[in-house]
Structure 1
Amino acid sequence: MRSIQKVLTPFKLIAMAKFGGSQLFLCVLALVAATAAADLPGFVERIGMTFQTEGSTFLFNGFNAHWLMGDAASPHSNGSKVTALFEEAAAAGLTVCRTWAFYDGFSNDSLQVTPGVYHEQVFKGLDFVISEARKNGLRVILSLVNNYNDYGGRAQYVDWARRAGLVVPSVDDFYTHDTIKGYFKKHIEYILNRMNTFTKMAYKNDPSIMAWELINEPHCESDPSGKIFTAWVQEMATFLKTIDNNHLLGVGLEGFYGSSTPDKVKLNNPNAVQIGVDFIKVHKVIEIDYATVHAYPDFWLKGQSEDKKTEFVKQWLWNHWKDSVEMLRKPLMLGGFGKTKKDPGYSEHIRNDFYSTVYDSIYRISKNGHKTFTGGLMWQLFVEGMESQDDGFEIILSQDANATALILNQSKRMGELAGSGTCTCTCTCTVA
């Protein structure tokens, strides 16, 4: 394991200085470059209900940054923002980044223009992202398609089929139509077998990739039972593992319960009872290595008080961890969480309290639950000069001392916890 602690000592300067001066920040980044040029790490593996690498427990603090491939492929940027982001992230002890390995459609910025046809320049952008992550001691989780129309998503696959003359009534046919499933399998195969032009290593053989994720926040409203989506996960997971059995595989769920546990449906947010996914049923697919949950109370509990949102998130994380270890016997990851500036009543104080709640929950559960809650990925990190892409959730580390201190502290204690011993966790985990 590349321990988080390897980069923490020099970065205590960041917390002390609170990014008070750009010169200090640049000096610290120089230390990062020297410290994070680590040897090629081993693959992250699932051992029992924990993650391990090279015989050591793997816990992490991480982030989302969906925009990386596009920036790396842009002739206006040439990846400068990618490099800056990974350097800043490493300085804050962050070790995992979740990002998109998709952009489907007819745009010049797209990765996959038509089924199986790719823009090489954009693919080189993804190559660069993986290479830069490795240089800075980070691992990436690559998501393979979007549920939403942003960056193409399921709807683009359906549109391709319709343009080919096929009758496809619904976007949810993405999960059942043989031709469309074939399109997606080709994408999986192409991505996994891609030879990185920077590292000269096939993606499927690169331990800098921590995990594959089948789909970002899937829904299938046409089948509230969740059976259609679960069958799709089984088919795609089996296919992917025949090509690549080196990497972890996740699904990308938000965590909504379904028909297999009717007593738990009440735990969902009010808008997610019938979206056609089932947290328990889907994660019982053997080929899926870990469970995922997301937490966006500003979207899910609109109009409710901050106290109610906070209590919801604490219970949401606790219940999903408990079910992951007791019913699924798999580790849990918080794949995305955040607080939006666009929510009425937002303040940095409220955001920081939310982050503290999430980070404290992850740490406490992991510490007392045999390290089976593996880490969390905040949404999302930007760097300076990205104001035009503002989505309301972004944090720029070099401009936000308080958020940086919270993130750095979580990185430090998760790193220390990971180094406190290895547990294969065949026991029943409880949190006092």
Structure 2
Amino acid sequence: MAVYVKSVDPKHLVEIGLEGFYGLSTPNRFQFNPNTYAQQVGTDFIRNHQVLGVDFASVHIYPDSWISQTISDVHIEFTKSWIQSHIEDAENSLGMPVVFAEFGVSAKDPGYNSTYRDTFLSNVYKILLNSTRKGGGGGGCLLWQLFPEGTDYMDDGYAVILSKSPSTSGIISLQSTRLTTFNSLCSWKCQWGCKKKHALETFLYHDEL
């Protein structure tokens, strides 16, 4: 399907949308999975992202769904190792950036408080910012989820309403400012030219070569 999408529209980036669980192709990475079930669900972070037509890797971060709903420091430690392992694999095994396309914590979790959410958020942002600073594989992260006022009825527990969450809003604003500063200094000589690009072009356009 990735190759087909590229044949229709070669100018847009394609990603899969995986949770990021390590599968059978990399049993040595099982240690980073949140539980033993993760390696049995049929997805494989490394192998799936080696498919022609996939431009960047994607991962989610939901320790309160994967480990336990009860908030604890274990969630933070898992998050740190989860992010770092995927950045390393994106750089060393895949040769492409990785975006943490969903991450968050539910206000419905036992033991939840805004201080914990801010700590969780800050740890994710810090690791991604450090990767950006050194030109690493951390391609960004997307908080699940920001809501405007008046849409609370759609909140699944993960919503952040900026006007009602000043401390969280400040963390998000600071991260955005920092990333804007770093990106403004970028020379646009991207080191993440996909190693599969030539193979894909050959596959799609071999009749024209």
User: What TM-score range do you get, normalising by the shorter chain?
Assistant: 0.7 to 0.9
Aligned to 1:298: 64
SS at match of 1:250: coil
Asked if the contact 2:106/2:112 (under 8 Å) is kept, the reply is yes
The aligned residue for residue 54 of structure 2 is 288
TM superposition shift of 1:341: 0.6
In the TM superposition, residue 388 of structure 1 has moved relative to its aligned partner by: 1.7
Q: CA deviation at 1:303?
A: 5.7
Q: Equivalents in 1 of 2:76, 2:10: separation in Å?
A: 38
- How far residue 305 of structure 1 moved from its aligned partner, in angstroms, is 5.7
**Which of these residues, 226, 242, 250, is aligned with residue 15 of structure 2?**
250
1: CA distance between counterparts of 2:111 and 2:72?
9
Residue from 320, 327, 340 that aligns with 2:93: 327
Quick check: 1:407 aligned with 2:172? yes
Aligned equivalents of 2:34, 2:120: Cα separation in 1: 17
Matched, 1:272 2:38: yes
- Pairwise CA distance, 1:400: 1.7
Give distance in 2, aligned partners of 1:303 and 1:385. Answer: 27
Please say if residues 88 and 137 of structure 2, whose CA atoms lie closer than 8 Å, have aligned partners that are also in contact.
no
Contact 2:148 2:162 in 1 (8 A): yes
Other-structure match for 2:80: 314
Deviation at 1:398, TM superposition (A): 2.1
Alpha-carbon distance between aligned partners in 2 of 1:407 and 1:303, rounded to the nearest angstrom:
24
**Which structure has the larger Rg?**
1
Residue 303 and residue 407 in structure 1: after superposition, are their counterparts in 2 closer, same or farther (change >3 A)? closer
**Counterpart among 86, 107, 118 of residue 352 in structure 1:** 118
CA shift in 2, pair 1:347/1:396, >3 Å: same
Residue identity opposite 1:248 in structure 2? L
Q: Structure 2 CA distance, aligned partners of 1:411 and 1:315?
A: 23
Give the aligned length.
191
- Aligned equivalent of 2:145: 380
- TM-score scaled by structure 2? 0.87
Which segments of 5 or more consecutive residues in structure 2 lack a partner in the other structure?
Answer: 193-209
Task: Return the letter of the residue paired with 1:298.
Answer: D
2:130 maps to what in 1? 364
Q: How far apart are residue 313 of structure 1 and its match?
A: 0.5
State the SS of the aligned residue for 1:292. Answer: strand
- CA distance in 2 between partners of 1:387 and 1:304 (Å): 23
Provide runs of 4+ in structure 1 moved above 3 Å. Answer: none
Pairs within 5 Å for 1:153-168: none
Q: Alpha-carbon deviations, 1:340-386, whole Å to 9, x = none?
A: 11110000011111111111111012212x14312110000111112
Matches of 2:184 and 2:178, distance apart in 1: 10
Structure 2 counterpart of 1:102: none
Conserved? CA contact 2:70–2:110, under 8 Å: no
Q: CA deviation at 1:399?
A: 2.1
> Which residue of structure 1 lines up, in the alignment, with residue 24 of structure 2?
259
5+ unaligned residues in a row in structure 1: which ranges? 1-235, 427-432
Q: 1:263-316 deviations in whole A, cap 9, x for unaligned?
A: 112211113120001000010112100001110111111066622111110110
Cα distance per residue 1:21-58 (max 9 Å; x no partner): xxxxxxxxxxxxxxxxxxxxxxxxxxxxxxxxxxxxxx
Instruction: Give the % identical residues.
Output: 38
Contact 2:2 2:53 in 1 (8 A): yes
**Normalization by structure 1: what TM-score?**
0.43
